[in-house]
Amino acid sequence: MTDHSVTERVSPLSPFKHSIFRSVWTASLASNFGGLIQSVGAAWMMTAIASSVDMVALVQAATTLPIMLFSLASGAIADNYNRRKVMMIAQFFMLVVSVALAVTAYLGAMTPWLLLGFTFLLGCGTALNNPSWQASVGDMVPRSDLPAAVALNSMGFNMTRSVGPAIGGAIVAAAGAAAAFAVNAVSYLPLLFVLLRWKTPESARTLPREPFGLAMTAGLRYVAMSPNIEKVLLRAFVFGFSAVSVLALLPLVARDIVRGGPLLYGVLFGAFGIGAVGGALLSSRLRHVLTSEWNVRLGFIGFAACAAIAGLSTMPWLTCLALLIGGASWVTSLSLFNITVQMSTPRWVVGRSLSLYQTATFGGMALGSWIWGIAADAYGPGEALLMSAVVLIAGAALGLKWFTLPEQTTLNLDPANRFKEPHVALDLKPRSGPIAIMIEYIIREEDVPAFLDVMAERRRIRRRDGARQWTLSRDLENPELWMETYHTPTWIEYVRHNQRMTQADAVISERIRKLHSGDEPPRVHRMIERPTDWSAALVSPKQIIDLHH
Protein backbone atom coordinates (compact mmCIF):
# COMPACT_ATOMS: atom_id res chain seq x y z
CA MET A 1 0.00 0.00 0.00
CA THR A 2 1.16 3.52 -0.68
CA ASP A 3 1.13 6.38 1.77
CA HIS A 4 -2.33 7.97 1.45
CA SER A 5 -2.03 10.35 4.37
CA VAL A 6 -2.11 14.03 3.63
CA THR A 7 -1.03 15.08 7.09
CA GLU A 8 2.52 15.47 8.32
CA ARG A 9 3.63 12.58 10.44
CA VAL A 10 4.12 13.48 14.09
CA SER A 11 5.43 11.44 16.98
CA PRO A 12 2.75 9.24 18.59
CA LEU A 13 3.90 10.60 21.97
CA SER A 14 3.91 14.30 21.00
CA PRO A 15 0.69 15.14 22.96
CA PHE A 16 2.59 14.40 26.18
CA LYS A 17 4.49 17.67 25.64
CA HIS A 18 1.35 19.44 26.90
CA SER A 19 1.12 19.31 30.70
CA ILE A 20 -2.68 19.34 30.98
CA PHE A 21 -2.96 16.43 28.57
CA ARG A 22 -0.38 14.49 30.59
CA SER A 23 -2.22 15.14 33.85
CA VAL A 24 -5.69 14.28 32.56
CA TRP A 25 -4.38 11.23 30.71
CA THR A 26 -2.64 9.91 33.83
CA ALA A 27 -5.64 10.52 36.09
CA SER A 28 -7.87 8.84 33.51
CA LEU A 29 -5.78 5.69 33.84
CA ALA A 30 -6.92 5.37 37.44
CA SER A 31 -10.54 6.09 36.55
CA ASN A 32 -10.53 3.61 33.67
CA PHE A 33 -8.83 1.04 35.86
CA GLY A 34 -11.64 1.30 38.41
CA GLY A 35 -14.31 1.22 35.74
CA LEU A 36 -13.00 -2.03 34.30
CA ILE A 37 -12.81 -3.62 37.73
CA GLN A 38 -16.43 -2.53 38.27
CA SER A 39 -17.41 -4.11 34.92
CA VAL A 40 -15.84 -7.41 35.90
CA GLY A 41 -17.63 -7.33 39.24
CA ALA A 42 -21.00 -6.49 37.71
CA ALA A 43 -20.76 -9.08 34.93
CA TRP A 44 -19.66 -11.85 37.27
CA MET A 45 -22.19 -10.92 39.96
CA MET A 46 -24.93 -11.17 37.34
CA THR A 47 -23.85 -14.72 36.47
CA ALA A 48 -24.31 -15.59 40.15
CA ILE A 49 -27.66 -13.88 40.87
CA ALA A 50 -29.48 -14.25 37.53
CA SER A 51 -30.98 -17.44 36.15
CA SER A 52 -31.19 -16.26 32.52
CA VAL A 53 -28.20 -16.09 30.19
CA ASP A 54 -29.47 -12.95 28.42
CA MET A 55 -29.38 -11.03 31.74
CA VAL A 56 -25.58 -11.31 31.66
CA ALA A 57 -25.46 -9.67 28.23
CA LEU A 58 -27.85 -6.97 29.46
CA VAL A 59 -25.12 -5.70 31.83
CA GLN A 60 -23.24 -4.51 28.74
CA ALA A 61 -26.47 -3.15 27.24
CA ALA A 62 -27.27 -1.19 30.42
CA THR A 63 -23.84 0.46 30.20
CA THR A 64 -24.12 1.47 26.55
CA LEU A 65 -27.84 2.29 26.25
CA PRO A 66 -27.63 5.66 28.10
CA ILE A 67 -24.82 6.75 25.80
CA MET A 68 -27.07 6.06 22.82
CA LEU A 69 -30.04 7.86 24.39
CA PHE A 70 -28.42 10.94 25.91
CA SER A 71 -25.21 11.62 23.97
CA LEU A 72 -26.74 14.23 21.65
CA ALA A 73 -28.03 16.24 24.61
CA SER A 74 -24.61 15.87 26.25
CA GLY A 75 -22.94 17.03 23.04
CA ALA A 76 -25.10 20.17 23.02
CA ILE A 77 -24.06 20.79 26.63
CA ALA A 78 -20.39 20.25 25.71
CA ASP A 79 -20.59 22.85 22.93
CA ASN A 80 -22.43 25.46 25.00
CA TYR A 81 -20.94 25.15 28.50
CA ASN A 82 -17.54 24.90 30.12
CA ARG A 83 -16.39 21.36 29.33
CA ARG A 84 -14.22 21.07 32.44
CA LYS A 85 -17.19 21.81 34.70
CA VAL A 86 -19.39 19.37 32.80
CA MET A 87 -16.78 16.63 33.30
CA MET A 88 -16.53 17.43 37.00
CA ILE A 89 -20.31 17.10 37.43
CA ALA A 90 -20.32 13.80 35.54
CA GLN A 91 -17.41 12.37 37.54
CA PHE A 92 -18.97 13.37 40.86
CA PHE A 93 -22.32 11.82 39.85
CA MET A 94 -20.59 8.53 38.98
CA LEU A 95 -18.70 8.63 42.28
CA VAL A 96 -21.99 8.87 44.22
CA VAL A 97 -23.59 6.05 42.20
CA SER A 98 -20.53 3.83 42.65
CA VAL A 99 -20.60 4.33 46.42
CA ALA A 100 -24.30 3.40 46.49
CA LEU A 101 -23.59 0.32 44.35
CA ALA A 102 -20.78 -0.84 46.65
CA VAL A 103 -22.90 -0.36 49.79
CA THR A 104 -25.88 -2.22 48.30
CA ALA A 105 -23.68 -5.16 47.25
CA TYR A 106 -21.93 -5.23 50.64
CA LEU A 107 -25.29 -5.41 52.43
CA GLY A 108 -26.36 -8.34 50.24
CA ALA A 109 -29.41 -6.47 48.90
CA MET A 110 -28.51 -6.69 45.23
CA THR A 111 -31.02 -8.07 42.70
CA PRO A 112 -30.52 -8.51 38.91
CA TRP A 113 -32.69 -5.52 38.04
CA LEU A 114 -31.18 -3.35 40.76
CA LEU A 115 -27.72 -4.17 39.41
CA LEU A 116 -28.87 -3.20 35.92
CA GLY A 117 -30.28 0.05 37.35
CA PHE A 118 -26.98 1.03 38.95
CA THR A 119 -25.13 0.09 35.76
CA PHE A 120 -27.56 2.22 33.75
CA LEU A 121 -26.92 5.23 36.02
CA LEU A 122 -23.17 4.83 35.59
CA GLY A 123 -23.80 4.75 31.85
CA CYS A 124 -25.71 8.03 32.19
CA GLY A 125 -22.68 9.60 33.85
CA THR A 126 -20.49 8.31 31.04
CA ALA A 127 -22.93 9.73 28.49
CA LEU A 128 -22.64 13.18 30.08
CA ASN A 129 -18.87 12.97 30.43
CA ASN A 130 -17.73 11.56 27.10
CA PRO A 131 -18.62 14.35 24.62
CA SER A 132 -17.02 16.98 26.85
CA TRP A 133 -13.99 14.78 27.45
CA GLN A 134 -13.42 13.93 23.80
CA ALA A 135 -14.12 17.48 22.61
CA SER A 136 -11.76 18.90 25.25
CA VAL A 137 -8.85 16.94 23.78
CA GLY A 138 -8.82 19.56 21.03
CA ASP A 139 -8.56 22.21 23.78
CA MET A 140 -5.54 20.49 25.33
CA VAL A 141 -3.41 19.90 22.22
CA PRO A 142 -3.02 21.64 18.84
CA ARG A 143 -4.84 20.19 15.85
CA SER A 144 -1.66 18.62 14.46
CA ASP A 145 -1.38 16.47 17.61
CA LEU A 146 -5.05 15.52 17.70
CA PRO A 147 -4.81 12.10 15.95
CA ALA A 148 -1.94 11.09 18.25
CA ALA A 149 -3.88 12.32 21.31
CA VAL A 150 -6.94 10.25 20.36
CA ALA A 151 -4.73 7.19 19.85
CA LEU A 152 -3.03 7.78 23.23
CA ASN A 153 -6.41 7.98 24.93
CA SER A 154 -7.31 4.63 23.39
CA MET A 155 -3.96 3.24 24.44
CA GLY A 156 -4.38 4.51 28.01
CA PHE A 157 -7.81 2.93 28.32
CA ASN A 158 -6.56 -0.34 26.92
CA MET A 159 -3.44 -0.35 29.08
CA THR A 160 -5.78 -0.53 32.05
CA ARG A 161 -7.90 -3.07 30.17
CA SER A 162 -4.85 -5.30 29.77
CA VAL A 163 -4.40 -5.70 33.54
CA GLY A 164 -7.56 -4.25 35.11
CA PRO A 165 -9.90 -7.15 34.34
CA ALA A 166 -7.41 -9.73 35.58
CA ILE A 167 -6.98 -7.78 38.82
CA GLY A 168 -10.73 -7.30 38.92
CA GLY A 169 -11.24 -11.03 38.58
CA ALA A 170 -8.79 -11.62 41.43
CA ILE A 171 -10.58 -9.04 43.61
CA VAL A 172 -13.98 -10.61 42.90
CA ALA A 173 -12.62 -14.11 43.59
CA ALA A 174 -10.95 -13.03 46.83
CA ALA A 175 -13.29 -10.40 48.29
CA GLY A 176 -16.47 -10.40 46.24
CA ALA A 177 -18.07 -7.94 43.83
CA ALA A 178 -18.67 -5.31 46.55
CA ALA A 179 -14.90 -4.83 46.87
CA ALA A 180 -14.63 -4.29 43.10
CA PHE A 181 -17.36 -1.65 43.27
CA ALA A 182 -15.57 0.10 46.15
CA VAL A 183 -12.31 0.24 44.17
CA ASN A 184 -14.20 1.88 41.32
CA ALA A 185 -15.62 4.55 43.65
CA VAL A 186 -12.13 5.50 44.85
CA SER A 187 -10.79 5.63 41.27
CA TYR A 188 -12.79 8.78 40.44
CA LEU A 189 -10.89 10.91 42.96
CA PRO A 190 -7.62 11.52 41.02
CA LEU A 191 -9.46 12.75 37.93
CA LEU A 192 -11.70 15.01 40.01
CA PHE A 193 -8.58 16.47 41.63
CA VAL A 194 -6.94 17.18 38.23
CA LEU A 195 -10.12 18.75 36.86
CA LEU A 196 -10.38 21.00 39.90
CA ARG A 197 -6.84 22.27 39.28
CA TRP A 198 -7.25 22.74 35.51
CA LYS A 199 -7.83 26.43 34.83
CA THR A 200 -9.43 26.62 31.41
CA PRO A 201 -9.56 30.05 29.77
CA GLU A 202 -13.10 31.36 29.49
CA SER A 203 -13.75 32.11 25.83
CA ALA A 204 -15.43 35.44 25.22
CA ARG A 205 -18.95 34.92 23.88
CA THR A 206 -20.21 37.48 21.39
CA LEU A 207 -23.56 35.70 21.19
CA PRO A 208 -25.78 34.10 23.83
CA ARG A 209 -25.84 30.32 24.11
CA GLU A 210 -27.99 28.44 21.65
CA PRO A 211 -31.31 27.25 23.09
CA PHE A 212 -31.00 23.61 24.03
CA GLY A 213 -33.44 22.27 21.44
CA LEU A 214 -31.97 24.38 18.65
CA ALA A 215 -28.46 23.29 19.63
CA MET A 216 -29.38 19.61 19.27
CA THR A 217 -31.14 20.31 15.98
CA ALA A 218 -28.05 22.16 14.72
CA GLY A 219 -25.88 19.15 15.56
CA LEU A 220 -28.21 16.77 13.74
CA ARG A 221 -28.38 19.09 10.75
CA TYR A 222 -24.60 19.48 10.57
CA VAL A 223 -24.03 15.72 10.53
CA ALA A 224 -26.89 15.12 8.09
CA MET A 225 -25.30 17.61 5.66
CA SER A 226 -21.80 16.12 6.08
CA PRO A 227 -21.64 12.94 3.94
CA ASN A 228 -18.22 11.89 5.23
CA ILE A 229 -19.40 11.91 8.84
CA GLU A 230 -22.55 9.98 7.88
CA LYS A 231 -20.36 7.19 6.48
CA VAL A 232 -18.40 7.04 9.72
CA LEU A 233 -21.60 6.80 11.77
CA LEU A 234 -22.97 3.93 9.71
CA ARG A 235 -19.77 1.92 9.84
CA ALA A 236 -19.37 2.64 13.56
CA PHE A 237 -22.91 1.40 14.22
CA VAL A 238 -22.30 -1.85 12.35
CA PHE A 239 -18.95 -2.35 14.08
CA GLY A 240 -20.37 -1.66 17.54
CA PHE A 241 -23.38 -3.93 16.92
CA SER A 242 -21.34 -6.91 15.77
CA ALA A 243 -18.07 -6.55 17.72
CA VAL A 244 -19.75 -6.11 21.11
CA SER A 245 -20.74 -9.78 20.97
CA VAL A 246 -17.30 -10.76 22.26
CA LEU A 247 -17.37 -8.34 25.20
CA ALA A 248 -21.01 -9.07 26.08
CA LEU A 249 -20.60 -12.85 25.97
CA LEU A 250 -17.06 -13.10 27.35
CA PRO A 251 -18.25 -14.15 30.85
CA LEU A 252 -20.12 -17.03 29.19
CA VAL A 253 -17.09 -17.88 27.06
CA ALA A 254 -14.99 -18.11 30.24
CA ARG A 255 -17.59 -20.12 32.15
CA ASP A 256 -19.21 -22.37 29.52
CA ILE A 257 -16.78 -22.73 26.60
CA VAL A 258 -13.33 -22.54 28.21
CA ARG A 259 -14.66 -23.83 31.57
CA GLY A 260 -13.04 -21.34 33.94
CA GLY A 261 -13.91 -18.95 36.76
CA PRO A 262 -13.73 -15.19 37.41
CA LEU A 263 -9.94 -15.19 37.36
CA LEU A 264 -9.84 -16.73 33.87
CA TYR A 265 -12.49 -14.24 32.76
CA GLY A 266 -10.21 -11.43 33.93
CA VAL A 267 -7.24 -12.97 32.10
CA LEU A 268 -9.26 -13.23 28.86
CA PHE A 269 -10.42 -9.64 29.25
CA GLY A 270 -6.80 -8.67 29.91
CA ALA A 271 -5.65 -10.36 26.70
CA PHE A 272 -8.17 -8.22 24.83
CA GLY A 273 -6.67 -5.14 26.50
CA ILE A 274 -3.10 -6.09 25.66
CA GLY A 275 -4.08 -6.48 22.02
CA ALA A 276 -5.73 -3.07 22.15
CA VAL A 277 -2.55 -1.46 23.52
CA GLY A 278 -0.63 -3.00 20.64
CA GLY A 279 -3.23 -1.72 18.21
CA ALA A 280 -2.97 1.79 19.66
CA LEU A 281 0.82 1.77 19.31
CA LEU A 282 0.57 0.57 15.71
CA SER A 283 -2.35 2.77 14.69
CA SER A 284 -0.24 5.81 13.77
CA ARG A 285 1.97 3.70 11.52
CA LEU A 286 -1.02 1.97 9.96
CA ARG A 287 -2.71 5.31 9.19
CA HIS A 288 0.35 6.31 7.15
CA VAL A 289 0.74 2.97 5.37
CA LEU A 290 -2.88 2.07 4.64
CA THR A 291 -5.90 4.06 3.58
CA SER A 292 -8.56 4.77 6.18
CA GLU A 293 -10.87 2.31 4.47
CA TRP A 294 -8.31 -0.49 4.52
CA ASN A 295 -7.58 0.16 8.20
CA VAL A 296 -11.26 -0.19 9.07
CA ARG A 297 -11.76 -3.12 6.70
CA LEU A 298 -8.94 -5.03 8.39
CA GLY A 299 -10.43 -4.10 11.76
CA PHE A 300 -13.73 -5.74 10.80
CA ILE A 301 -12.00 -8.83 9.43
CA GLY A 302 -9.66 -9.14 12.43
CA PHE A 303 -12.57 -8.93 14.86
CA ALA A 304 -14.52 -11.49 12.82
CA ALA A 305 -11.62 -13.89 13.29
CA CYS A 306 -11.60 -13.10 17.01
CA ALA A 307 -15.32 -13.81 17.39
CA ALA A 308 -15.15 -17.05 15.40
CA ILE A 309 -12.18 -18.45 17.34
CA ALA A 310 -13.68 -17.41 20.70
CA GLY A 311 -16.90 -19.22 19.74
CA LEU A 312 -15.11 -22.44 18.75
CA SER A 313 -12.00 -22.73 20.94
CA THR A 314 -12.00 -24.63 24.24
CA MET A 315 -8.29 -23.90 24.84
CA PRO A 316 -7.59 -20.80 26.96
CA TRP A 317 -4.33 -19.96 25.13
CA LEU A 318 -6.03 -19.98 21.72
CA THR A 319 -8.91 -17.85 23.00
CA CYS A 320 -6.38 -15.39 24.46
CA LEU A 321 -4.61 -15.23 21.10
CA ALA A 322 -7.91 -14.47 19.36
CA LEU A 323 -8.67 -11.76 21.91
CA LEU A 324 -5.28 -10.15 21.25
CA ILE A 325 -6.29 -9.81 17.59
CA GLY A 326 -9.74 -8.58 18.62
CA GLY A 327 -8.34 -5.93 20.94
CA ALA A 328 -6.03 -4.56 18.25
CA SER A 329 -8.87 -4.51 15.71
CA TRP A 330 -11.16 -2.80 18.21
CA VAL A 331 -8.87 0.11 18.98
CA THR A 332 -7.64 0.71 15.42
CA SER A 333 -11.20 0.88 14.10
CA LEU A 334 -12.77 2.97 16.85
CA SER A 335 -9.87 5.41 17.14
CA LEU A 336 -9.95 5.95 13.38
CA PHE A 337 -13.70 6.63 13.51
CA ASN A 338 -13.11 9.15 16.30
CA ILE A 339 -10.22 10.86 14.52
CA THR A 340 -12.18 11.14 11.27
CA VAL A 341 -15.10 12.84 13.05
CA GLN A 342 -12.85 15.26 14.96
CA MET A 343 -10.79 16.17 11.89
CA SER A 344 -13.96 16.75 9.85
CA THR A 345 -15.70 19.03 12.35
CA PRO A 346 -15.16 22.68 13.41
CA ARG A 347 -14.96 23.46 17.12
CA TRP A 348 -18.43 25.02 17.37
CA VAL A 349 -20.12 21.67 16.76
CA VAL A 350 -17.43 19.10 17.63
CA GLY A 351 -19.14 18.01 20.87
CA ARG A 352 -22.40 17.29 19.08
CA SER A 353 -20.68 15.51 16.19
CA LEU A 354 -18.75 13.30 18.60
CA SER A 355 -21.92 12.66 20.57
CA LEU A 356 -23.70 11.45 17.44
CA TYR A 357 -20.71 9.24 16.67
CA GLN A 358 -21.01 7.81 20.18
CA THR A 359 -24.77 7.44 19.74
CA ALA A 360 -24.18 5.35 16.63
CA THR A 361 -21.38 3.28 18.17
CA PHE A 362 -22.90 2.67 21.57
CA GLY A 363 -26.38 2.34 20.13
CA GLY A 364 -25.01 -0.49 18.03
CA MET A 365 -23.37 -1.95 21.13
CA ALA A 366 -26.56 -1.73 23.19
CA LEU A 367 -28.65 -3.34 20.46
CA GLY A 368 -25.95 -5.92 19.79
CA SER A 369 -25.61 -6.84 23.48
CA TRP A 370 -29.34 -7.54 23.60
CA ILE A 371 -29.49 -9.41 20.27
CA TRP A 372 -26.42 -11.55 20.91
CA GLY A 373 -27.67 -12.28 24.43
CA ILE A 374 -30.95 -13.58 23.00
CA ALA A 375 -29.02 -15.59 20.39
CA ALA A 376 -26.78 -17.07 23.09
CA ASP A 377 -29.83 -18.00 25.17
CA ALA A 378 -31.46 -19.71 22.18
CA TYR A 379 -28.49 -21.34 20.45
CA GLY A 380 -25.53 -21.08 22.83
CA PRO A 381 -22.73 -18.49 23.16
CA GLY A 382 -20.48 -20.20 20.61
CA GLU A 383 -23.11 -20.11 17.90
CA ALA A 384 -23.97 -16.48 18.71
CA LEU A 385 -20.31 -15.49 18.28
CA LEU A 386 -20.15 -17.24 14.91
CA MET A 387 -23.24 -15.31 13.79
CA SER A 388 -21.60 -12.04 14.81
CA ALA A 389 -18.49 -12.99 12.82
CA VAL A 390 -20.65 -13.22 9.69
CA VAL A 391 -22.07 -9.73 10.37
CA LEU A 392 -18.53 -8.38 10.82
CA ILE A 393 -17.50 -9.71 7.40
CA ALA A 394 -20.57 -8.00 5.94
CA GLY A 395 -19.51 -4.77 7.68
CA ALA A 396 -16.10 -4.96 5.98
CA ALA A 397 -17.85 -5.41 2.61
CA LEU A 398 -19.84 -2.18 3.12
CA GLY A 399 -16.73 -0.19 2.29
CA LEU A 400 -16.17 -1.85 -1.07
CA LYS A 401 -18.47 0.57 -2.90
CA TRP A 402 -21.13 2.59 -1.10
CA PHE A 403 -19.74 3.53 2.30
CA THR A 404 -16.01 3.90 1.77
CA LEU A 405 -14.44 5.98 4.53
CA PRO A 406 -12.90 9.33 3.52
CA GLU A 407 -9.22 10.02 3.86
CA GLN A 408 -7.98 12.44 6.48
CA THR A 409 -7.42 15.87 4.98
CA THR A 410 -5.78 19.10 5.98
CA LEU A 411 -8.97 21.19 5.75
CA ASN A 412 -8.63 24.32 7.85
CA LEU A 413 -11.73 24.29 10.05
CA ASP A 414 -10.73 27.31 12.14
CA PRO A 415 -13.28 30.15 12.08
CA ALA A 416 -12.93 32.42 9.06
CA ASN A 417 -13.74 35.48 11.21
CA ARG A 418 -14.62 37.51 8.12
CA PHE A 419 -18.17 38.43 9.04
CA LYS A 420 -18.87 41.87 10.43
CA GLU A 421 -22.29 42.80 11.67
CA PRO A 422 -23.82 45.11 9.08
CA HIS A 423 -25.16 48.58 9.84
CA VAL A 424 -28.93 48.64 9.58
CA ALA A 425 -31.56 51.34 9.84
CA LEU A 426 -34.15 49.38 11.81
CA ASP A 427 -34.30 48.76 15.53
CA LEU A 428 -33.83 44.98 15.42
CA LYS A 429 -33.78 42.75 18.46
CA PRO A 430 -31.86 39.43 18.55
CA ARG A 431 -35.12 37.52 18.09
CA SER A 432 -36.41 39.75 15.29
CA GLY A 433 -37.26 37.81 12.15
CA PRO A 434 -37.69 35.92 9.94
CA ILE A 435 -34.70 37.24 7.99
CA ALA A 436 -34.45 36.80 4.21
CA ILE A 437 -31.05 37.15 2.52
CA MET A 438 -30.69 37.76 -1.23
CA ILE A 439 -27.28 37.93 -2.94
CA GLU A 440 -26.93 39.06 -6.56
CA TYR A 441 -24.26 37.60 -8.84
CA ILE A 442 -23.38 38.51 -12.41
CA ILE A 443 -22.13 35.37 -14.20
CA ARG A 444 -20.94 35.18 -17.79
CA GLU A 445 -22.52 32.46 -19.92
CA GLU A 446 -19.26 30.53 -20.28
CA ASP A 447 -18.87 30.45 -16.45
CA VAL A 448 -22.36 29.06 -15.75
CA PRO A 449 -21.34 25.35 -15.47
CA ALA A 450 -18.55 26.16 -13.01
CA PHE A 451 -20.87 28.50 -11.11
CA LEU A 452 -23.54 25.82 -10.74
CA ASP A 453 -20.97 23.32 -9.48
CA VAL A 454 -19.64 25.63 -6.80
CA MET A 455 -23.14 26.78 -5.81
CA ALA A 456 -24.11 23.16 -5.17
CA GLU A 457 -21.38 23.09 -2.51
CA ARG A 458 -22.48 26.52 -1.26
CA ARG A 459 -26.04 25.16 -0.83
CA ARG A 460 -24.76 22.27 1.30
CA ILE A 461 -22.67 24.61 3.47
CA ARG A 462 -25.50 27.11 3.91
CA ARG A 463 -28.01 24.43 4.95
CA ARG A 464 -25.47 22.66 7.14
CA ASP A 465 -24.81 25.89 9.06
CA GLY A 466 -28.47 26.72 9.64
CA ALA A 467 -29.87 28.43 6.53
CA ARG A 468 -33.40 27.53 5.45
CA GLN A 469 -35.28 27.63 2.15
CA TRP A 470 -32.11 28.04 0.08
CA THR A 471 -32.77 28.72 -3.63
CA LEU A 472 -30.82 29.83 -6.68
CA SER A 473 -32.67 31.82 -9.36
CA ARG A 474 -31.82 33.25 -12.77
CA ASP A 475 -33.27 36.47 -14.15
CA LEU A 476 -35.42 35.87 -17.25
CA GLU A 477 -34.75 39.31 -18.74
CA ASN A 478 -31.05 39.49 -17.83
CA PRO A 479 -29.68 35.90 -17.90
CA GLU A 480 -26.32 37.01 -16.46
CA LEU A 481 -28.07 37.99 -13.20
CA TRP A 482 -28.36 35.20 -10.61
CA MET A 483 -29.93 35.45 -7.16
CA GLU A 484 -29.02 33.29 -4.14
CA THR A 485 -31.75 33.38 -1.48
CA TYR A 486 -32.01 31.85 1.97
CA HIS A 487 -33.77 32.50 5.28
CA THR A 488 -32.95 32.36 8.97
CA PRO A 489 -35.63 32.38 11.69
CA THR A 490 -34.16 35.35 13.60
CA TRP A 491 -31.50 38.01 13.27
CA ILE A 492 -29.29 36.38 15.88
CA GLU A 493 -29.45 33.09 13.95
CA TYR A 494 -28.34 35.00 10.85
CA VAL A 495 -25.31 36.31 12.76
CA ARG A 496 -24.63 32.86 14.22
CA HIS A 497 -24.90 31.31 10.74
CA ASN A 498 -22.23 33.63 9.36
CA GLN A 499 -19.90 33.20 12.33
CA ARG A 500 -19.88 29.45 11.71
CA MET A 501 -18.02 29.87 8.42
CA THR A 502 -14.63 28.14 8.49
CA GLN A 503 -11.47 28.88 6.55
CA ALA A 504 -12.31 25.90 4.32
CA ASP A 505 -15.79 27.31 3.66
CA ALA A 506 -14.22 30.66 2.78
CA VAL A 507 -12.41 28.96 -0.11
CA ILE A 508 -15.82 28.26 -1.67
CA SER A 509 -16.77 31.90 -1.21
CA GLU A 510 -13.57 32.97 -2.95
CA ARG A 511 -14.32 30.71 -5.90
CA ILE A 512 -17.77 32.27 -6.23
CA ARG A 513 -16.33 35.80 -6.04
CA LYS A 514 -13.90 35.01 -8.86
CA LEU A 515 -16.77 33.87 -11.08
CA HIS A 516 -18.72 37.07 -10.37
CA SER A 517 -18.02 39.44 -13.27
CA GLY A 518 -19.58 42.64 -11.93
CA ASP A 519 -17.54 45.76 -11.27
CA GLU A 520 -18.75 45.74 -7.66
CA PRO A 521 -18.79 42.80 -5.22
CA PRO A 522 -21.98 40.69 -5.17
CA ARG A 523 -24.78 42.82 -3.78
CA VAL A 524 -26.38 41.56 -0.54
CA HIS A 525 -29.97 42.40 0.45
CA ARG A 526 -30.96 41.70 4.06
CA MET A 527 -34.72 41.77 4.53
CA ILE A 528 -36.99 41.19 7.50
CA GLU A 529 -40.32 39.60 6.67
CA ARG A 530 -43.34 41.50 7.97
CA PRO A 531 -47.10 40.81 8.15
CA THR A 532 -49.53 43.03 6.22
CA ASP A 533 -51.00 44.36 9.50
CA TRP A 534 -49.30 47.77 9.67
CA SER A 535 -49.27 47.90 13.50
CA ALA A 536 -47.45 44.57 13.76
CA ALA A 537 -45.05 45.53 10.97
CA LEU A 538 -43.95 48.83 12.50
CA VAL A 539 -40.25 48.87 13.49
CA SER A 540 -38.38 51.94 14.66
CA PRO A 541 -35.33 53.15 12.72
CA LYS A 542 -31.93 52.66 14.33
CA GLN A 543 -28.36 53.12 13.16
CA ILE A 544 -26.81 49.85 14.33
CA ILE A 545 -27.86 46.61 15.96
CA ASP A 546 -27.11 45.91 19.59
CA LEU A 547 -26.93 42.14 20.06
CA HIS A 548 -26.28 42.31 23.79
CA HIS A 549 -29.77 43.31 24.84
pLDDT tens per residue, range 332-354: 888 888 888 888 888 888 888 88
pLDDT tens per residue, range 439-492: 999 999 999 999 999 999 999 999 999 899 999 999 999 999 999 999 999 998
pLDDT tens per residue, range 169-218: 778 778 878 888 898 899 899 999 998 888 776 665 667 778 888 888 88
510/288: higher pLDDT: 510
Q: What is the pLDDT of residue 486?
A: 95
pLDDT tens per residue, range 519-544: 888 999 999 888 766 555 555 544 33
Angle at 288 between CA 284 and CA 293, to 5 degrees: 95
| Residue 390 binned pLDDT confidence (cut-offs 50, 70, 90) | very high
Q: What is the pLDDT of residue 411?
A: 67
| Type of residue at 16 | F
Closest residue by Cα to residue 239 from 377, 398, 66, 374:
398
Sign of the alpha-carbon dihedral angle for 253, 259, 264, 270: negative
Helix (H, G, I), strand (E, B) or coil at 442: strand
Residues of 313-340 as b/e, b for ≥16 C-beta within 10 angstroms? beebeebbbbbbbbbbbbbbbbbbbbbb
Residue 548 has pLDDT above 60, yes or no: no
DSSP string across 300-368: HHHHHHHHHHHHH---HHHHHHHHHHHHHHHHHHHHHHHHHHHHTS-GGGHHHHHHHHHHHHHHHHHHH
The C-alpha atoms of residue 170 and residue 39 are separated, in whole angstroms, by 13
Is the bond leading into 434 cis (omega within 30 degrees of zero)? yes
What percent of the chain shows pLDDT beyond 70? 90
Q: What is the pLDDT of residue 545?
A: 39
Lowest mean pLDDT among 57-66, 126-135, 527-536: 527-536
The C-alpha atoms of residue 292 and residue 228 are separated, in whole angstroms, by 12
pLDDT tens per residue, range 245-282: 998 888 888 888 888 877 787 788 778 878 887 887 78
Output phi, psi for 346, to 5 deg. -70, 165
Are the C-beta atoms of 273 and 325 separated by less than 8 Å?
no
The 3-state secondary structure of 78-121 reads HHHCCHHHHHHHHHHHHHHHHHHHHHHHHCCCCCHHHHHHHHHH
Measured CA distances, 331 to 141, 245, 303 (Å): 21, 16, 11
Q: What is the pLDDT of residue 282?
A: 80
Helix (H, G, I), strand (E, B) or coil at 200: coil
